[in-house]
Amino acid sequence: MTLSMTLLDEPAATRELANVLIVDDVPQNLVAMEALLARDDIRILKAASGPEALELLLVHDVALALLDVQMPDMDGFVLAELMRGSQRTRDVPIIFLTASPNDPARSFKGYETGAVDFLHKPIDPRIILGKVDVFVQLYQQRQQLKAQNARLERALQLNEAMIAVLTHDLRTPLSAITLCADRIMVEVGDGPLARTAHHVETSARRMARMIDQLLDFSRIRSGVVRLELANHDLGALAETVAEETRQANPTRAIEVTTRGDTLGYFDSTRMAQVLSNLLGNAVQYALGSTPIVLSVDGSDTATVQLSVRNAGVLPANLVQRIFEPFKGSFHQSRGLGLGLYIVDQFVRAHGGSVVAQNVEEGVEFKVTVPRHAVR
């Protein structure tokens, strides 16, 4: 049994009772209708007037309302209009019952007030039973789907909490592995053991990036990302991140260009991660030896633009989905497919936008953020 199993296959005995409201000022009609509709999965609610019906609707959720049109003080049309005006009862299906001759104008008024059907007395029992059965089944299915969605939401929250705890606790042993690999490389110098230690360190750093991405993904999904806004220079930040990327990828050329005033009010840690993820993505997918170009344009007074270009072509079917989480299958050398999703979410948190497009120079990711982000 898995979470994906639908609840619609549960036996009727385990389903929630459906309330059917009958409103009629004639007691005999209430008794007759209750006897006709009686069954195990239906609870009959009876009201002899509109005000009494409204009191019941304040207490009970109703799958269907059968309203007599002609009642003193408050007729069925007025009751229907009041039900439609309330958030609690606006979606309750209404069937009008009337002993009046078939009058198209009267029927139109009934549908205008929100009725799903308009039946004239005497009513064929098979017709009313069939209609009630349809609405009761729809109500029960909605309730079951609501319960299933609630369980799935709880399971999702639990999974996200587990990811956050797991990834946080993995940091300590991973740091120890990295330090040990560094120590081995220092102690042994060159040789097979040093190369092995270098592979261990590289793999540990890649795992650390994956853990960071999972933590950010968990924070984003949980809505707990907070921006620490301050005055910073995006141009200087771009130079710093580019140098870090060069050290991690010494064979890949990265050029940085700046233009205009690159000062702004933003979260430097989040924007550094945006730049790092974009450059990391470019390093992974760039073709040939053409340098990756990181540009910072502050010529506009209201915004600052960042762009990362690399040689290559972005498939047309991926352009619209490039910022979705887990857009690709897992690849041990290319991470979890969360980097660009995190870029999009952090840029949005600053009130900005990011687009991916094919240009003459190859593939370009362009970020636009307000010069003064709002917390």
Q: Give the range with max mean pLDDT: 5-14, 212-221, 222-231.
A: 222-231
Q: What is the pLDDT of residue 72?
A: 86
Confidence grade of residue 76 (pLDDT, cut at 50, 70, 90):
confident
Token pair in block for residue 371: 């010069």
3-class DSSP state of 91 = coil
| The pLDDT of residue 343 is above 80 | yes
Residues 6 or more apart in contact with residue 288 via CB below 8 angstroms: 311
Domains of the chain: 11-123 (3.40.50.2300), 156-222 (1.10.287.130), 230-370 (3.30.565.10)
Confidence grade of residue 12 (pLDDT, cut at 50, 70, 90):
very low
Q: What is the mean pLDDT of the chain?
A: 83
Cβ atoms within 10 Å of 191's Cβ, excluding its own: 9
Q: What is the pLDDT of residue 9?
A: 43
Task: Categorise residue 335: left if φ over 0, alpha if ψ from -120 to 50, beta otherwise.
Answer: left
- Write out the H or E segment, with its range, that includes residue 179: helix 125-188
Q: What is the pLDDT of residue 331?
A: 42
Cα atoms in the 13 Å half-sphere on the side-chain side of 110:
26
Confidence grade of residue 263 (pLDDT, cut at 50, 70, 90):
very high
Are the C-beta atoms of 69 and 101 separated by less than 8 Å?
A: no
